[in-house]
Structure formats: C-alpha cells, structure tokens
C-alpha cells in the first residue's frame, strides 16, 4: 500500500521517495474572469518559463512538480514518481506492484486497504462509490478531492452519494501510483480537502506497448425473496508508444454487470385488521428494521437489481518541446446505460403478482402505493478534456498550467409511476449541460544545495479557478421507458465559482527542523440559482464569501529513521450547487435545498510520528477536526411543521488515532505486509435546529476501522494475497436511534476477508483467481453489500 525507497535509505530519504503528486486541471481557453490581483502572479510564474544554461544542465527525468507520470512496465521507467517531501500532512501510497495482486475491477478498488478509509461501493460498476475517511462520512462527497494527473475527477456539484468522483475516467490498468493526503494542511488544495485528497498518477509508454485484460465475476446472493447468482464481465485493452518527442496511450474498457438487489419495498407492520375487499396475498417477509420496528418486505424496489453497461475511451498525449518543457492533452469519454429491475414478492390466491393497492397480509390491511415497486432506467454520456504545460527543472523555478473541462453532454433518467408491468406513465429527467471547468497556474521553487538566498526554502505560488454549473429539468411522460416529454414538472439551475490565490513555503531553518507554512485566499460566489414549477418560477438570490485559510506544519528529524510532525490548518468547504439550489436528485428521491447555507469552517490538527524500521515504515497519528456549520440534510425540530433540508449543524468534532505499517520482506523473504488500525470518535457538539442530536455520534463514522493485506511472492511468477477489512459500529441517523444496524436499512459493522492468487506463465501473460467476501458476510450500508464474489482474470501484454 505504501511506496518505498530502497531499504538502505534513511527515514528521511524514504519519506522523500514517497512523495506528493499533482494538482489540478483545465484549459487555458476557458472563459475565466481573472481578478485584478492575478498580475501579481506573473513575476513568480515567468522565471519558470525562461530557460537558462544552468537549468538545462540540471534537468532530470523526474519532475519536481506534481503530476509527472512514469511507468513501471518493461517498456517504461521502473521507479514510481516521488511524493513531495515538503508536504505538511500524512500521506499513504499504493503502487501498481501492490494492487496488481488484489481484486481490482474499478479504479476505486485500489483504495480498499488504505488506513482509516473506506469506499462505499455497493457492487461492481456502482456509480455512487464515494470515499469516507476520518471524520468524513460516506455521504459527504464534497469533503474529498480526487485528481488524475492533475485533472479534477471530483464531482463537486453536490455533497452526497449521488455525486461521487468520476472514477471511470481512469482505467485501473493505466494507474502507476495513488497517494492519499489526509486532512486540509496544504495551502495547495481547497477546503474540499477537509477529508482527504486522492492523487492518481498514470503511466506513459517509453516504447511501443499493448495489453488486453479480460475479467469475469459472479456472486450468489440470498436475502428475503431473492436467491440467485448475479454475473458480470469486463474487458479492457490499451496501446501506446513513444516516437521521438511524442508519446501517447489509448485505453478502452467495457463493463457489463448485474448487481444484487440494492433496495426493498417495505411497510411498517400493520395493526389494522383486514377488511372486505382487501386482496389476500402471500409472499411477504417480516423482519425488525434498523430501529427494531416490525416491518413487512413486499419486493425489490427503488434502485432494484441494476444491470449496468459502461464503456470508456481514454486518450493521453504528451509532447516534449525541450528536455525541460512538456505539454499534455487528455480526452476522456464515458458512456453508461442502466436498467433497475424491480419485482414483487406478493401473489394473490391465483398466483398472480400484486404490485399495489389494499392487500391483506397475515390478517392485517396494508395499502401499497402505486410507485412502491416502480422500476427505472437511464443513460448518460460524459466527456473530459484536459491540457497541461509544465517545466521540469531539477532545481530553481518551475511552473505549470493545467486546465480541464468536464461535460455531461447527455443525461436521461426515467422512472415509472407504477410497479405494474408495461410502458405506462412516469417521469423523465434531463441533466444535459451540467459540468465543471477549472484552471490552475502554479510556480514552484526548489533550492539547489549551494544556491544562495533561498537555499533553505521550497516555495509554491498559485492561482485556482473553478466553475460548476447544474441544469436539471423534469417532465411527465406517457411512456416511461422511451416516451417523449409531455408536461413540465420542475427544473433546478444554478452555478458556483471559486477563485483562489495561495502561497506556501517549506523552510528548513535548522538541519533537523522544518517549518511548512502557507495561506490560501478564496473568493466564492453562487449565482443564477432558480427553481421552476408548473406556472411559476422562483429565483434565488446570489451569494458570496471570501476567506483566508492559514496552514502551518513543524517537523523534527529526531534521527535519520524517526520524524515527528505537528500540523494545523483552517479550511472552508463552500456549499455546492445542489445543496444551494437543487431540490431533486433523481427520480426516486426528493431533497429540499437551502440557498442560505454558510460554508463549513474547519480547524484541523494532527500530531504524527513516522518511523522506518523492520523493512518498512510505521506511522502513528493523532488528529482532531472541529467543523463549524457542518452542512447536512436534517430535520429542523424547532419549527412547526418540521422542515427537512440541508442545514448548518453548529459544530461537529472528530478526534482519533491512526496506526499503520507497510513493509517488504516482513519476517520472511517475499512477504509484503500492509496493516492499519484507526479509532475515530465523531460527535455533534452543537445543533440549534435539532437539539436531540447534541452529544450523539455523527452519521456513518465508525468507531474502529482496521485493514490488513499480506502478499506472499513465491517467486517472480506467483503470488498469493490474503486481506481483511473491518468497520465497527456506526449510526445511520443523527439521533442514533438505529439500534439494529445489521439489517436492510441499517449500517453494519463488518469483517470481510478477500484473497487472490496471481500466476504469470510468461513475462507477458498473467492469470488471476480471487474471492472477495470469502465467508459470505451479509452486511449493509442501508443497501446490502455484495455477497461472496468470485473473480477470474487473464492478461496479455506486449
């Protein structure tokens, strides 16, 4: 899971080799309105683009800027890119050599054993896979950042499971290394780094290469009235080459999978005796739900059994104008169709399925709404465009410009009005024209050992711009499967824009002491927000906020093998377009918006010790996050009638401890081990709108997390991995009233064991056989997680 320098290196040298990654994104041609203070950046950026003979003599292949890509295949450079040794935060790294021996189908799978981190992935191909880390739950997607080679993949249009990072814009096969930065301690990243920042580095070829990869997987799932196998497959291929100064890589991927049931139709157990005219039915299941309320299960509904087909196309190109000036271009395309099938468990006396109406179950009357078992389907097309220009000097000034544009060019979601078979009425939602664009300019200074003046300083200056825009329109239709729009239902629109300036200095003021300090200034605006209903339109007022976010980190090299570090940082996480303006997320869920939200105001602290020992690195961290004005959907119980919408919770405090270890040749030659244990206590300190939640644990933050992954390499051809993931008690309500968590609707504690055997018959071929959830644990994140899943994989390379 972590990247290591050779074992003979000191802790300081190892830490320098574990390095930082890139930053961000977009196209210089973006319509950016640069503020008047941007000219002040020009003197800092200009020197980096001025070539000098002295600089040319010090060029190295490895860039000092983030997001320089190298590869580890036979055709590429062997060493992973180093992490910035001046990063003022805890960093964990996973490399291709490690996750090649795990069961990895989707890109987010490479994070599955990271310390104090979990991925909410309900099935292979799940669109709603978001990360949870430390005091950030798996429904707070805007508290995490994901970049791939500096291009932003985080979907900051909203802040819940419906807005996950766009993982599908990266193929697992192109990944070289992934770094996770914990906490908002670096001025280089916005307040959305409050949870963690994930930096993905991909590979570029040094000569001609091609590969093909085929996977098949299956799981058996048994719960309530469903007892069957669910199968899927994935095929991917890539080709790349370097010709002179030009290199390219093309990746294609096709995924076809059917999930286990994700949601069931339920009604609280009735106490009303059945009446004449109620249809007697059989097939219902009774259980005690997450609040220990007796509940009847009627069938599979909502997201149902989801069949998804996903296609990805990714083209990356680089051109080296000189040995020190490189340009890059990225084009990503991702297309998905899904069909969520529902079914009823209920049968009348003649064996006919029953979908709605008043029925008699066990002598009691139940009234099943028409939409209780309604199916849905949809499709979307997404495009990612990115360009970059950067210099690569070993010392002195460097600069980079990165621009990106993410376009949801086509998005349609359809939901039936009834669960009955056929092509009856329903709703259709169009999300075309939604997306974001970004621009980042950065200049860095790396001192040379004998350079005067700034010899003990490593400097970073930068400017960031982003613009998020949302446009959703919902219509009624007479044919929910493929009918055209008939009458207008509602619409939600809005935009946010952020511009930021930042500066950071890593100052080694004594041989063993280093101070990293910086500040980030952010100017945030929300505008163009409106909600439309039939016959009326409701515009929202514009909003703006400006904040400074200071950061500081002091480290001391106790010995060459032991480093101590204390970090503190303030961060502001601004409201998203969805939280401010959007009232409807999809065809089956309604969420009220709140245009008057304040930004989340966080003060984070961390104490860390890193010790190089036993062929690896130990890390021990104490952390605390105090977040004022936490944005979360809750019920305001102080008004009548109660109002449920996105609100600011007065204060949430998360504190805990993390321990991790990663080593090679541990105990015996060939055994690589990664292990971590973390304790997090996240509690609500103040909440004026819902006082009953004060003192309670925050939503979906487990008290304990533990991960273990051991890979034994028999030789260069064969390896066996045995891994385990543990997540402890957590709550699915702010009032902590879900006292029965290990059922559908609850959020489980769980222990899951995974394994994989990898065999390489030749240097150019590989076969893998694996199992996730080896003991078929049944666990839930409201929805059921997958059952025991078998994998078989074959790879060819040239």
8 A C-beta contact, residue 170 and residue 251: no
pLDDT at 453: 67
Count CB neighbours of 419 within 10 A: 27
Pick from 111, 234, 216, 236: nearest CA to 165: 111
pLDDT tops 60 at residue 726:
yes
Q: Report the distance separating Cα 203 and Cα 100, nearest Å.
A: 14
Average pLDDT over residues 40-65: 34
| Parallel/antiparallel/unpaired status of strands 543-559 and 643-663 | unpaired
Output the six-digit token pair for 472.
């959703």
Pick from 414, 265, 277, 296: nearest CA to 361: 296
pLDDT at 585: 38
8 A C-beta contact, residue 218 and residue 789: yes
SS3 state at 382 = strand
SS3 state at 2 = coil
Pick from 527, 477, 519, 530: nearest CA to 498: 527
SS3 state at 47 = helix
Output the six-digit token pair for 763.
């240097």
pLDDT at 55: 36
Q: Report the distance separating Cα 127 and Cα 192, nearest Å.
A: 20
Confidence of residue 269 (pLDDT cuts 50, 70, 90): very high
Per-residue pLDDT of 282-332, as tens digits, reads 999 999 999 999 999 999 998 899 999 999 999 999 999 999 999 999 999
Q: Report the distance separating Cα 474 and Cα 538, nearest Å.
A: 16
Domains recognised in the chain with CATH numbers:
11-797 (2.40.170.20)
Question: What Cα–Cα distance (Å) separates residue 3 from each residue in 179, 334, 701, 755?
Answer: 9, 30, 28, 21
Count CB neighbours of 408 within 10 A: 21
Question: What Cα–Cα distance (Å) separates residue 222 from each residue in 528, 773, 776, 785?
Answer: 48, 14, 10, 12
Q: Where are the beta strands (DSSP E) in 99-225?
A: 117-120, 130-133, 144-148, 151-152, 175-182, 196-202, 209-223
Q: Report the distance separating Cα 110 and Cα 790, nearest Å.
A: 18
Reduce the secondary structure of 120-164 to three states and give it as a string: ECCCCCCCCCEEEECCECCCCHHHEEEEECCEECCCCCCCCCCCC
pLDDT tops 90 at residue 48:
no
Residue with structure tokens 């996973």?
94
Per-residue pLDDT of 222-240, as tens digits, reads 999 899 999 999 999 999 9
8 A C-beta contact, residue 83 and residue 67: no
pLDDT tops 90 at residue 533:
no
Per-residue pLDDT of 655-698, as tens digits, reads 999 999 999 999 999 999 999 999 999 999 999 999 999 999 99
pLDDT tops 60 at residue 40:
no
Question: What Cα–Cα distance (Å) separates residue 381 from each residue in 152, 313, 470, 776?
Answer: 18, 11, 15, 35
Q: Tell whether the torsion through CA atoms of 757, 760, 764 and 765 is positive or negative.
A: negative
Q: Report the distance separating Cα 496 and Cα 582, nearest Å.
A: 13
Q: Report the distance separating Cα 592 and Cα 688, nearest Å.
A: 19
pLDDT tops 60 at residue 16:
no
Count CB neighbours of 314 within 10 A: 23
pLDDT tops 50 at residue 457:
yes
pLDDT at 449: 65
pLDDT at 302: 80
pLDDT at 642: 85
pLDDT at 84: 76
pLDDT at 524: 98
pLDDT at 591: 46
Count CB neighbours of 716 within 10 A: 8
pLDDT at 85: 78
8 A C-beta contact, residue 693 and residue 630: no
pLDDT tops 50 at residue 207:
yes
8 A C-beta contact, residue 270 and residue 364: yes
User: Which residues pair with residue 144 across a beta bridge?
Assistant: 196
Average pLDDT over residues 169-174: 94
Per-residue pLDDT of 625-649, as tens digits, reads 999 999 999 999 998 888 888 999 9
Please tell me the pTM assigned to this model: 0.89
Task: For the chain, give the percent of residues with pLDDT over 70.
Answer: 88
8 A C-beta contact, residue 116 and residue 678: yes
Q: Give, rounded to a whole angstrom, the gap between the first and last alpha carbons of the chain.
A: 27
Confidence of residue 74 (pLDDT cuts 50, 70, 90): very low
Mean pLDDT score of the chain, rounded to an integer?
88
Q: Tell whether the torsion through CA atoms of 349, 352, 358 and 363 is positive or negative.
A: positive
Question: What Cα–Cα distance (Å) separates residue 500 from each residue in 128, 236, 493, 497, 552?
Answer: 29, 39, 24, 10, 18
8 A C-beta contact, residue 489 and residue 474: yes
Q: Report the distance separating Cα 320 and Cα 286, nearest Å.
A: 66
Residue with structure tokens 């929202």?
540
Phi, psi of 577 (to 5 degrees): -55, -45
Pick from 322, 55, 320: nearest CA to 204: 320
pLDDT tops 60 at residue 25:
no
Residue with structure tokens 């305001």?
636
Per-residue pLDDT of 736-772, as tens digits, reads 999 999 999 999 999 999 999 999 999 999 999 999 9
pLDDT at 643: 84
Per-residue pLDDT of 100-131, as tens digits, reads 999 999 999 999 999 999 999 999 999 899 99
Q: Which helix (H) or strand (E) holds 14?
A: helix 11-17
Question: What Cα–Cα distance (Å) separates residue 493 from each residue in 32, 260, 389?
Answer: 20, 34, 34
Average pLDDT over residues 383-388: 97
8 A C-beta contact, residue 134 and residue 182: yes
Confidence of residue 50 (pLDDT cuts 50, 70, 90): very low
8 A C-beta contact, residue 514 and residue 554: yes
Output the six-digit token pair for 602.
């966080």
DSSP character string of 427-479: EEEE-TTEEEEEEEEEEEEE--TT-SSSTTEEEEEEEEEEEEEEEEEEEEES-
pLDDT tops 90 at residue 351:
yes
């Amino acid at each position: 899971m972590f990247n290591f320098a050779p074992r003979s290196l000191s802790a300081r040298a190892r830490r320098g080799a574990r390095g930082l990654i890139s930053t961000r994104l977009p196209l210089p041609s973006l319509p950016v309105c640069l503020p008047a203070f941007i000219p002040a950046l020009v003197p800092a950026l200009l020197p980096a683009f001025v070539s000098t003979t002295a600089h040319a003599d010090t060029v190295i292949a490895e860039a000092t800027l983030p997001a320089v890509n190298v590869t580890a295949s036979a055709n590429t450079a062997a060493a992973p890119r180093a992490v910035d040794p001046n990063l003022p935060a805890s960093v964990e790294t996973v490399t291709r050599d490690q996750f090649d021996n795990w069961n990895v189908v989707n890109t987010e799978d490479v994070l599955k054993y990271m310390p104090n981190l979990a991925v909410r992935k309900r099935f292979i191909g799940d669109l709603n896979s978001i990360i949870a880390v430390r005091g950030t739950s798996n429904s707070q997607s805007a508290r995490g950042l994901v970049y791939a080679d500096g291009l932003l993949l985080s979907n900051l249009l909203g802040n819940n499971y419906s807005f996950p990072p766009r993982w599908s814009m990266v193929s697992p096969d192109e990944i070289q290394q992934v770094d996770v930065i914990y906490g908002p301690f670096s001025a280089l990243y916005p307040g959305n780094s409050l949870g963690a920042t994930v930096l993905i580095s991909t590979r570029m070829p040094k000569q001609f290469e091609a590969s093909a990869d085929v996977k098949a997987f299956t799981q058996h799932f048994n719960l309530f009235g469903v007892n069957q196998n669910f199968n899927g497959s994935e095929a991917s291929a890539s080709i790349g080459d370097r010709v002179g100064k030009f290199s390219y890589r093309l990746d294609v991927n096709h995924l076809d999978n059917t999930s286990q049931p994700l949601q069931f139709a339920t009604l609280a157990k009735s106490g009303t005796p059945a009446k004449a005219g109620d249809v007697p039915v059989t097939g219902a299941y009774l259980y005690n739900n997450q609040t220990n309320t007796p509940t009847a299960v009627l069938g599979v509904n909502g997201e149902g059994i989801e069949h998804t087909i996903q296609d990805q196309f990714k083209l990356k190109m680089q051109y080296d104008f000189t040995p020190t000036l490189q340009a890059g271009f990225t084009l990503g395309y991702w297309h998905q169709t899904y069909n969520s099938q529902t079914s009823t468990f209920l049968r009348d006396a003649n064996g006919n399925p029953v979908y709605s109406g008043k029925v008699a179950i066990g002598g009691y009357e139940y009234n099943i709404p028409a939409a209780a078992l309604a199916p849905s389907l949809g499709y979307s097309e997404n495009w990612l465009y990115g360009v970059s220009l950067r210099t690569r000097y070993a010392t002195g000034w460097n600069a980079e410009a990165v621009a990106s544009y993410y376009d949801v060019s086509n998005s349609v979601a359809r939901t039936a009005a009834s669960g009955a078979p056929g092509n009856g009425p329903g709703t259709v939602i169009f999300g075309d024209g939604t997306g974001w664009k970004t621009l980042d300019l950065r200049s860095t200074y790396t001192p040379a050992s004998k350079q005067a003046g700034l010899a003990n300083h490593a400097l970073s200056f930068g400017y960031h711009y982003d613009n998020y825009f949302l446009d959703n329109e919902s219509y009624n239709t007479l044919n929910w499967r493929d009918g055209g729009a008939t009458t207008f239902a509602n619409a939600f629109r809005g935009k946010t824009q952020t511009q930021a300036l930042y500066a950071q200095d890593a100052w080694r003021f004594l041989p063993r002491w280093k101070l990293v300090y910086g500040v980030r200034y952010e100017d945030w605006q929300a505008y163009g927000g409106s909600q439309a209903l039939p016959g009326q339109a409701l515009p929202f007022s514009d909003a703006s906020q400006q904040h400074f976010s200071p950061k500081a980190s002091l480290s001391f090299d106790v010995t060459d093998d032991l480093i101590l570090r204390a970090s503190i940082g303030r961060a502001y996480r601004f409201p998203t377009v969805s939280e401010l303006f959007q009232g409807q997320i999809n065809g089956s869920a309604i969420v009220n918006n709140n245009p008057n939200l304040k930004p989340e105001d966080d003060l984070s602290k961390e104490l860390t010790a890193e010790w190089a020992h036993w062929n690896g690195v130990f890390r021990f961290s104490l952390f605390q996050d105090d977040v004022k004005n936490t944005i979360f959907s809750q019920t305001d119980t102080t008004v009548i009638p109660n109002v449920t919408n996105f609100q600011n919770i007065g204060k949430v405090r998360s504190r805990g401890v993390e321990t991790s270890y990663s080593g090679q040749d541990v105990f015996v030659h060939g055994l690589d081990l990664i292990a971590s244990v973390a304790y997090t206590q996240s509690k609500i300190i103040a909440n004026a709108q819902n006082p009953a939640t004060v003192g309670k644990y925050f939503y979906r933050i487990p008290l304990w997390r533990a991960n273990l992954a051991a890979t034994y390499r028999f030789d260069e051809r064969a390896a066996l991995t045995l891994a385990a993931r543990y997540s402890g008690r957590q709550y699915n309500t702010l009032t902590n009233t879900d006292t029965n968590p290990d059922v559908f609707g609850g959020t489980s504690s769980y222990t899951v064991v995974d394994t994989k055997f990898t065999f390489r018959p030749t240097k150019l071929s590989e076969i893998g056989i694996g199992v996730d959830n080896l003991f078929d644990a049944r666990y839930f994140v409201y929805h059921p997680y997958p059952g025991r899943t078998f994998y078989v994989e074959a790879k060819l390379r040239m």
